Structure 1
């Protein structure tokens, strides 16, 4: 079993999981005719980045520098995802009040605002972000995303622990 769990295979598995999560989110969106809010989209982007980071590192041999970059990039990206998910949960739980009007379209946001302001608007969330459109096992999509990010942190620490032995 030890030879089966190589650095490459573990990273390919992590990449596969991240892309499956994005695929499931898109499937839920299309199946239930949902329109994702800016925070939903940003959480998907974070999962895509996580998938590409895992994929990239599956092609690299683990030395000290690669290990450091691997754990740093994955933990940082997952922490960003955790922050987005917690912010989204807080908006949906009404702990943070946002205006009830519809939010700015993402395309419009990135075409008409400087990049820093667009990301600031993206992180603030909109009235759309407070709507809860779908549940699974009593959990909202941001709550499920938060669980996934935490599991990815645990998975990353497992990989780091495994390759340091």
Structure 2
């Protein structure tokens, strides 16, 4: 069965996976009313980046080393996004007395701080990021996103290393 999955079809699947993840994020934000924290927004950036790379790979349909370059770019996006998601999961599992204080909104930080300082504050996370407002099958949104990044990494690694 894996032999029938052409590289182009796999990249299309990865792009669709990213699209569905972003539609789900949109649903949670605008229909359920869950406002994303700065770490959530950062994870979205990496989902979109990986999805765009996969879409470009689907449209370009490269062979040989080109397919591997796209695969490595998908892996880089997923691993980086996964690291952010892992940090988020870690914050959510801290004992209440160790949760960092809540910080300013992402919009405020972008307007008032240098980008580097904003990036550092976002990646550190704050008390807003430690709260779990919604779960599906017992998994928080960052846990689900971490699983998504693991799946994308595994599929992209397979895509990069496969012979045909």
Moved over 4 A (4+): 1-4
Is residue 101 of structure 2 the alignment partner of residue 100 of structure 1? yes
CA deviation after TM superposition for structure 1 residue 67, in Å: 2.9
TM superposition score normalised by structure 2: 0.89
Partner of 2:159: 159
**Preserved CA contact (<8 Å) 1:60 1:66:** no
SS in 1 for 2:150: helix
CA deviation after TM superposition for structure 1 residue 110, in Å: 1.8
* Change in 2 beyond 3 A, CA 1:125/1:2: closer
Partner of 2:143: 143
Partner of 1:121: 121
Q: How does 1:20-31 map to 2 (within 5 A)?
A: 20-31=20-31
**Preserved CA contact (<8 Å) 1:82 1:149:** yes
Q: How does 1:51-70 map to 2 (within 5 A)?
A: 51-70=51-70
Is residue 112 of structure 2 the alignment partner of residue 112 of structure 1? yes
**Preserved CA contact (<8 Å) 1:98 1:125:** no
**Preserved CA contact (<8 Å) 2:11 2:54:** yes
Aligned-residue RMSD, C-alpha: 2.1
Separation in structure 2 between the aligned mates of residue 28 and residue 159 of structure 1, nearest angstrom: 31
The alignment of Structure 1 onto Structure 2 pairs a total of residues equal to 163
Structure with more helix by fraction: 2
